[in-house]
Amino acid sequence: MKKFNIEFTVGLFVLAGILCLGYLSIKLGGMELLGNQGYDVYALFSNSGGLKQGSSVMIAGVEVGRIRSIGLDDYQARIVMNLNQGVKLQEDAIAAIKTKGLIGEKFIEITPGGADKIIPPGGKIRETLPPVDFEQLISKYVFGKVE
Amino acid sequence: MVNHRLDRETAVPLVLMMVMVFFWACPAWAGMPTEKVKETTDKILAVVSDSALKDPAKEAQRRERIRKTVDELCDWEEMSRRSLGRHWAQRSDQEKKEFVHLFGQLLERTYIDKVEGYSGEKVIYAGERIDGDYAEVDVRIVTKKNTEIAVLYKMRKRDQKWWVYDMVVEGISLVNNYRTQFSDILAKSSFEGLMKKLKEKSAE
């Protein structure tokens, strides 16, 4: 009887540990288990610059959604974003890929536009800006200097 | 035999269709976005490299001609609307008109010096993408030091003509740049404050 109790408790602790691990990985990975709320929009970028699934979508530094998927479409990066319900994007909103700090992770920053038309669920953000490639800019400057 | 008859029957409408497509396609092709950008760029470069206009005394005349040429390419109102973003709708027609005028002047002052500094850089038209009423024209400017600068013209069709509403240089958008600056200014002060700043800029 005593033996069974110890095994039972250990099992309970292991189970609790696994549950905690699962919770942590879901939280840290930015996944959502219980169905996504909000709606999807997509955008085509000439370069996704190492953006990842689950990266943030921000307006004025506030997270308003996450990246659902990244794929290739006619040699351009097609990025599907899941935006929170209640976030409205005007047709001329600009989506730009930016870096947190100088070498931080990539995210999408949206600057709201002034058009009357709102992008519907499943719609396309037409105005996009690829990440600024500092390496390329510096190399251009450097090689410009050499000659 | 049956085959031959069928051929003749289908051939006539086929040729007719081809002729129709040809005539329908021609005017559209003449107004392609790249053509329009190229036409304007060539005109500006002609003005800038015109030795008769090189004289400093003719600066005003030269700038006037550049401005007129650019006016045919750029949709100032659309550019202003996009730059002001969500603040645009809150302004009255009079304010909008004044803003378009001042913003045009600001761009002219900022960029005309750069255009006048032209010294034989090559312009390459690398391609275009058309999506309904919107188009992108890919342009590369090759400097004398052989570095390439990528410029993307964003265009929109209005009244059967293509108009530029944004320019992206090396991944930096003109509209986005002004949009963030204007919204910063508007968050700190008012629309009147922004107009005052623009006026001061153009009076410099």
pLDDT for B18 = 61
Q: In this structure, are A54 and A116 located in the same domain?
A: yes
Is there a domain that residue A142 lies in? no
pLDDT for B201 = 83
Is there a domain that residue A141 lies in? no
Q: In this structure, are A117 and A90 located in the same domain?
A: yes
* Contact indicator for A117, A61 with CB cutoff of 8 Å: no
Is there a domain that residue A95 lies in? yes
pLDDT for B2 = 46
What tokens appear for A23 in the block? 């919770």
Put simply, whether B187 touches A (Cβ < 8 Å) is no
Measured between alpha carbons, how far is B153 from B149 in angstroms, rounded to an integer? 13
Q: In this structure, are A22 and A44 located in the same domain?
A: no
Q: In this structure, are A6 and A61 located in the same domain?
A: no
Q: Which of A31-40, A125-134, B132-141, B161-170 has the lowest mean pLDDT?
A: A31-40
pLDDT for A3 = 64
Is there a domain that residue A72 lies in? yes
**Cβ-defined contact of A140 to B86 (cutoff 8 Å):** no
* Contact indicator for B183, B190 with CB cutoff of 8 Å: no
Domain count along chain A: 2
Put simply, whether B180 touches A (Cβ < 8 Å) is yes
Q: Is the pLDDT of residue A53 over 80?
A: yes
Measured between alpha carbons, how far is A90 from A112 in angstroms, rounded to an integer? 6
**Cβ-defined contact of A127 to B146 (cutoff 8 Å):** no
Q: Are strands A39-45 and A62-73 parallel, antiparallel or unpaired?
A: unpaired
pLDDT for A33 = 58
Closest residue of chain A to B173, computed from CA coordinates: A129
Residue in this structure with the two tokens 């540990």, named with its chain if needed: A17
Is there a domain that residue A16 lies in? yes
A18-44 pLDDT tens trace: 999 999 988 776 666 555 678 999 999
pLDDT for A102 = 76
A55-94 pLDDT tens trace: 999 999 999 999 999 999 988 899 999 999 889 999 999 9
Domain span at A10: 1-31
- What is the C-alpha R_g of chain A? 22
User: Which DSSP symbol is given to B150?
Assistant: E
Is there a domain that residue A1 lies in? yes
Q: In this structure, are A43 and A98 located in the same domain?
A: yes
Q: Is the pLDDT of residue B164 over 90?
A: yes
pLDDT for A18 = 96
pLDDT for B27 = 44
Dihedral pair phi/psi, residue A102, rounded to 5°:
-80, -40
Q: In this structure, are A9 and A56 located in the same domain?
A: no
pLDDT for B131 = 86
B14 falls in which pLDDT band (50, 70, 90)? Answer: low
Cα within 13 Å of Cα(B90), Cβ side: 9
Q: Please tell me which of the candidates B87, B131, B176 has its beta carbon nearest to residue A129.
A: B176
> Is the ipTM of this structure higher than 0.90?
no
pLDDT for B135 = 92
Q: In this structure, are A45 and A96 located in the same domain?
A: yes
A10-20 pLDDT tens trace: 999 999 999 99
Shortest alpha-carbon distance between residue A92 and chain B (Å): 7
**Best of A108, A129, A132 to mutate (most B CBs within 10 Å, chain B):** A129
pLDDT for A59 = 93
A107 falls in which pLDDT band (50, 70, 90)? Answer: very high
CA A3 to chain centre: 50
Q: In this structure, are A66 and A10 located in the same domain?
A: no
Q: Which of A43-57, A103-117, B8-22, B109-123 has the lowest mean pLDDT?
A: B8-22
Shortest alpha-carbon distance between residue A139 and chain B (Å): 10
Q: Which secondary-structure segment (H or E) carries B47?
A: helix B33-49
Measured between alpha carbons, how far is B47 from A66 in angstroms, rounded to an integer? 49
Residue in this structure with the two tokens 């959604």, named with its chain if needed: A65
Q: In this structure, are A63 and A1 located in the same domain?
A: no
Q: In this structure, are A65 and A112 located in the same domain?
A: yes
Is there a domain that residue A147 lies in? no
Q: Which conformational region is residue B85 in: left (phi greater than 0), alpha (psi within -120 to 50 degrees), or beta?
A: left
Dihedral pair phi/psi, residue A31, rounded to 5°:
-85, 160
Q: In this structure, are A17 and A89 located in the same domain?
A: no
Nearest of B8, B152, B178 to residue B76 by alpha carbon:
B178
Residue in this structure with the two tokens 């794929």, named with its chain if needed: A71
Tell me how many degrees the CA angle B117-B122-B128 measures, rounded to the nearest 5: 115
* Contact indicator for B175, B156 with CB cutoff of 8 Å: no
Shortest alpha-carbon distance between residue B157 and chain A (Å): 15
Closest residue of chain B to A126, computed from CA coordinates: B134
**Cβ-defined contact of B171 to A113 (cutoff 8 Å):** no
pLDDT for A115 = 85
pLDDT for B28 = 45
Q: In this structure, what is the dihedral angle of CA atoms B163, A47, A100, A112, given to the nearest 10 degrees?
A: 30
Dihedral pair phi/psi, residue A76, rounded to 5°:
-120, 155
Nearest of B172, B96, B101, B86 to residue A116 by alpha carbon:
B86
DSSP letters of A54-78? T-EEEETTEEEEEEEEEEEETTEEE
Q: In this structure, are A56 and A102 located in the same domain?
A: yes
Beta strands in B18-160 (DSSP E): 122-131, 134-142, 148-158
Residue in this structure with the two tokens 């250990």, named with its chain if needed: A10
Shortest alpha-carbon distance between residue A77 and chain B (Å): 15
Is there a domain that residue A97 lies in? yes
> Which amino acid is it at B70?
V
Residues of B83-112 as b/e, b for ≥16 C-beta within 10 angstroms?
bbbbbbeebeeeebeebbebbbbbbbeeeb
Put simply, whether B174 touches A (Cβ < 8 Å) is no
